[in-house]
Amino acid sequence: MAIAATETETPAARAFGPAAALSCRECGERYDLAPRFACEFCFGPLEVAYEFGAVTREEIERGPNNIWRYAGLLPVPDNVAELPNMDPGLTPLVRADRLAAELGMRSLHVKDDSANPTHSFKDRVVAMAVEAARTFGFRTLSCSSTGNLAGAVGAASARAGFRSCVFIPAGLEEGKIVMAAVYGGQVVAIDGNYDEVNRFCSELIGDPAGQDWGFVNVNLRPYYAEGSKTLAYEIAEQLGWRLPEQIIVPIASGSQLTKIDKGFGELIRLGLVEDRPYKVFGAQATGCSPVAAAYEQGHDVVQPVKPDTIAKSLAIGNPADGPYVIDVCRRTGGAVAHVDDAAVVDSIGLLARTEGVFAETAGGVTTGVLRKLLDEGALDPRAETVVLNTGDGLKTLNAVESGVTATIKPSLEVFKEAGLL
Amino acid sequence: MAIAATETETPAARAFGPAAALSCRECGERYDLAPRFACEFCFGPLEVAYEFGAVTREEIERGPNNIWRYAGLLPVPDNVAELPNMDPGLTPLVRADRLAAELGMRSLHVKDDSANPTHSFKDRVVAMAVEAARTFGFRTLSCSSTGNLAGAVGAASARAGFRSCVFIPAGLEEGKIVMAAVYGGQVVAIDGNYDEVNRFCSELIGDPAGQDWGFVNVNLRPYYAEGSKTLAYEIAEQLGWRLPEQIIVPIASGSQLTKIDKGFGELIRLGLVEDRPYKVFGAQATGCSPVAAAYEQGHDVVQPVKPDTIAKSLAIGNPADGPYVIDVCRRTGGAVAHVDDAAVVDSIGLLARTEGVFAETAGGVTTGVLRKLLDEGALDPRAETVVLNTGDGLKTLNAVESGVTATIKPSLEVFKEAGLL
């Protein structure tokens, strides 16, 4: 299923900045930078390998107020900031003093990625895929999506001048469907869950019909996935060039969590932050918790499940990076945990009423796991902690039962009688 | 109806930074900085008057990545960046080359305020009101709202630790209602339109029951309104410390437009930008276009109307700043124009498919007016132009008819037969 790539198709090195090659995460085999995602020898996933030049805090701080300030750490063209793209990132790291007080914590921040252009962290990864697609000469962008990605691909395709055709499971939230379609691309709903959509896309990309499409999370996946590193860079910079001691990350495919760990490691090796321990915690919804289950059972292999949860953006029953997630959480001394849908809804409310952050269900999952692991003593309430909100409550309105307190006639008397003062 | 304020209630000067007094926009009478909004002599609206110190581009550029980088130009405490607030602003100024090409323009930018924390420009004005309320010792924040403001007040109250009670017209979009309520404050729907909600709030604030409430857009209005100046500052800074030649601003109460003009004027007087002409254009929906009507008829007085438009965030039939809007547009050589709901919907789609910006109806109004005034020759297609998107399409989903292209079984054959390639 790997895409054929010859030497002549490989673009000039600086089209990918400091990226030097693709390398297999399993066997280490190296490949030229091409639209290729699986090792020809062991079928392991490919990821971007770098030869970093000198990168300083000062250069980064002088850069644009978006992810391109980290261009020297990403597989993107040197002039990326000048090219049409959604320019996501540098989202707020909210000092969550009121939530911390309610949970008995000393220092808590919420990294709020709902501030991205299409209001989810997916803008980060799609921005990378757009640059790779441009370099490789693709004209159509595509993806399988649980919703947020479809919107991000639609918007970025519009901005950057690509045709788009995205695939979603039927039955997504209305906000996500409208947002996927409003940018004018094709939106194809597949009768089935995300894993079936994903299988369909794998078929399509193996077919001549899909050969010249850039599937952001399939044949462009190695580039795409690197976008999640920017979450790590931003958190460290926003903490004053310091790593948090604990971080809670949602798990869908698991890629985000592993790339945040990769990003922290790069910052340490480049001398941009002090080398000190950090613990990575993974969060799943109980209704789709295959990684948490494997972690709890001490397994390395993740058994696929059929998702049944309101946290649809995390509803990937067969997460590609599950084993790597378990590696990271074990190695750093973190954990993987899950919370049920009731806790998700409750935690969305908690985050909203203490910090004014309206999270989508995925943010309810991370906040719920934060509470659970504090209760269980697995999280240290005195350690500097960051919890991720990767999406926007406006896209999952049905998850919260929230409405007007009362409807009244425009009369002061009626208002006073209603006991609303 | 003016709130009584004695000398002893007036806070220390630096609690309001460079603000020196309130002054009446009609008769010039000056007042101490207090929760006061109307002149005792002529009933004219009060606004903040300043005594600016030296402010340099370099100081601003070194500031935080939000509106507090302009604290030296705003009525806020010197240490405002340290206080709990939503920290909105520094939203993207999107270089809209594809939209410009479609409209035959040389240089067009979209100032996209959907990137603010609650996804509308209202976070800017509420952030100011929060600081004033804190200084004045109010414990409850309130407002009359067409929807976006309610969400902004709810979120900011949660973050900053205020109780909140907001008033909205019944029949708002679902996204706006949920977003107003999710932060845990009271949301009271009033049977009637926005102007009736507004009258109700004026009654309430004159009643002992409302005396110790901070109504962000009533007794805190002079402070609140100054937040819109930050749009002007950001646009100028993001253009490389240069004023645009043309700007298209939506009109609800009209306050935003007049404050953008005020902000541009301040930048010129402080020597932060070159003094060159700029034209301000006001945009309304035909179904609520009292300012456009007065402008077209050459009147100074705005006749109230009963709103009937899908652009609910602009549906203020009796806009308080209408006459000042007409002043600004005439003085700068701009205009006030309106477009019907069909053009609003069409323009939302145009902006989405060319630039990947999903605007709420208000953004459809400004983009629609941009197109109309270009067609009529009232806008110069060669002049550097900025169009404002002040809200988020996710809050007005019903306005766009956008859905999946097709729903299919997960089969390549079915996909190919559906003619979707």
Tell me the pLDDT of chain A (421 aa) as tens digits. Answer: 334 444 444 444 489 999 999 999 999 999 999 999 999 999 999 999 999 999 999 999 999 999 999 999 999 999 999 999 999 999 999 999 999 999 999 999 999 999 999 999 999 999 999 999 999 999 999 999 988 999 999 999 999 999 999 999 998 888 888 988 999 999 999 999 888 998 999 899 888 888 889 999 999 999 999 999 999 999 999 999 999 999 999 999 999 999 999 999 999 999 999 999 999 999 999 999 999 999 999 999 999 999 999 999 999 999 999 999 999 999 999 999 999 999 999 999 999 999 999 999 999 999 999 999 999 999 999 999 999 999 999 988 888 877 888 899 999 988 888 887 7
Cα Rg, chain A, nearest whole Å: 21
| Contact between residue B409 and residue B131 where contact means Cβ atoms under 8 Å apart | no
B209 — pLDDT class (breaks 50, 70, 90)? confident
A260-299 in b/e form (b: 16+ CB < 10 A) is: bbbbbbbbbebebbeeeebbbbbbbbbbbbbbbbbbeeee
Q: How confident is the model at residue B9 (pLDDT cuts 50, 70, 90)?
A: very low
What pLDDT, on a 0 to 100 scale, did the predictor assign at position A420?
76
Inside any domain, residue A99: yes
State the residue range of the domain holding A317: 93-119+228-399
- Which domain-ending residue is among A224, A246, A270? A224
Return the number of CB contacts < 8 Å for A and B.
233
Chain B residue numbers touching A90 (CB-CB < 8 A): 65
Report how far residue B301's alpha carbon sits from residue A118's, in angstroms, rounded to the nearest whole number: 41
Which ipTM value was assigned to this complex? 0.92
Rounded to a whole number of angstroms, the distance from the CA of A7 to the nearest CA of chain B is 29
Q: Is residue B348 part of a domain?
A: yes
- Asked if B210 and B216 count as a contact pair (C-beta separation under 8 A), the reply is no
Tell me what pLDDT residue A146 has.
Answer: 86
Distance CA B357, CA B354 (A): 8
Quick one: A322 and A390 in the same domain? Answer: yes
Q: Which of A186, A209, A224 is the last residue of a domain?
A: A224
| Interchain CB distance below 8 Å, B98 and A161 | yes
Same domain for A40 and A130?
A: yes
CA distance B184 to chain A (A): 5
Chain A contact set for B188 (CB, 8 A): 404-408, 415, 420
Cβ distance of B181 and A403 shorter than 8 Å: yes
In a domain, A409, yes or no: no
Nearest to B408 among A190, A392, A393 (CB): A190
Closest-CA distance, B180 to chain A, in angstroms, reads: 8
Residue B106: count of CB within 10 angstroms of its CB: 12
Final residue in a domain of this structure, among A166, A198, A224? A224
In a domain, B328, yes or no: yes
On whether any CB of chain B is under 8 Å from the CB of A101, the answer is no
Q: How far does the CA of residue A397 sit from the closest CA of chain B (Å)?
A: 7
Contact residues, chain A, for B97 at CB < 8 Å: 84
Q: What confidence score (pLDDT) does residue A3 get?
A: 41
Closest CA to B286 of B260, B251, B249: B251
> Is B98 a domain residue?
yes
Model confidence pLDDT, tens digit, residues B142-163:
999 988 999 999 999 999 999 9
In angstroms, the CA A316 to CA A250 distance is: 12
* Residue B257 CB partners (closer than 8 Å, separation 6+): B249, B250, B251, B280, B282, B321, B325, B328, B329
CATH code for position A382? 3.40.50.1100
Query: Does residue B7 surpass a pLDDT of 60?
Result: no
pLDDT band with cut points at 50, 70 and 90 for residue B206 = confident
CA distance B64 to B335: 35
The answer for B 214-273 residues in CB contact with A (under 8 A) is none
Q: Clarify whether residues A205 and A336 are in a common domain.
A: no
**β-strand B335-339 against B279-285: which pairing, if any?**
parallel
Q: What is the pLDDT of residue B3?
A: 41
Q: How far apart, in whole angstroms, are the C-alpha atoms of residue B123 and residue B115?
A: 10
Q: Which residues contact A21 (CB under 8 A, 6 or more apart)?
A: A30, A31, A32, A33, A48, A49
Q: Residue B407: closest CA among chain A residues belongs to which residue?
A: A189
Touching check for A419 and chain B: CB below 8 Å? no
Q: Which residue has the tokens 């800074």?
A: B237
For residue A115, the distance in angstroms to the closest alpha carbon of chain B comes to: 5
Specify the pLDDT at position B418: 84
> A94, A140, A415, A416: which to substitute to probe chain B, counting the most B Cβ within 10 Å?
A415
pLDDT > 60? residue B4: no
Residues A133 and A275 occupy one common structural domain: no
Does A126 lie in the same domain as A262? no
C-alpha distances in Å from residue A43, one per residue of A1, A9, A37, A46: 9, 22, 9, 9
Q: Percentage of chain B with pLDDT > 90?
A: 84
- B window 186-225, beta carbon within 8 A of A: 186-192, 196-197, 199-200, 203-204, 207, 209
| CA torsion angle B312 A88 A402 A250 (round to 10) | 170
**Do A392 and A264 share a structural domain?**
yes
Count of domains forming chain B: 1
Average pLDDT over residues B70-84: 97
Average pLDDT, stretch B351-374?
98
- Asked if A138 and A38 sit in the same domain, the reply is yes
Q: Per the domain annotation, does B413 fall within a domain?
A: no
pLDDT of residue A171: 82
Sign of CA dihedral B407, B409, B410, B413: negative
Mean pLDDT of B344-373: 97
Residue A298 sits in the same domain as residue A336: yes
Average pLDDT, chain B: 94
**Mean pLDDT, residues B293-317 taken together:** 95
- CB atoms closer than 10 angstroms to residue B276: 9
Which DSSP symbol is given to B15? Answer: G
A127 and A214 inside one domain: yes
* Placement of tokens 């604030």 in the chain: B205
CB of B379 within 8 A of CB of B281?
yes
Would B35 be classed as within a structural domain? no
3-state secondary structure of B327: helix
**pLDDT (mean) for B37-57:** 96
| Residue B403 in contact with partner chain A when CB distance is under 8 A | yes
Handedness of CA A85, B241, B226, B306 (dihedral sign): negative
pLDDT of amino acid B262: 98
B304 domain residue, yes or no: yes
Lowest pLDDT segment from A114-118, A254-258, B196-200, B242-246: B196-200
Question: A304 and A391 share a domain?
Answer: yes
Rounded average pLDDT over B25-44 = 96
Q: Is residue A165 located within the same domain as residue A250?
A: no
Residues A188 and A148 in one domain: yes
Q: Residue B301 has what pLDDT? A: 93
Q: Is B284 left (phi over 0), alpha (psi -120 to 50) or beta?
A: beta
Main-chain dihedrals φ then ψ at residue B116, nearest 5 degrees:
-65, 165
Q: Band the pLDDT of B10: cuts 50, 70, 90.
A: very low
pLDDT, residue B43, reads: 95
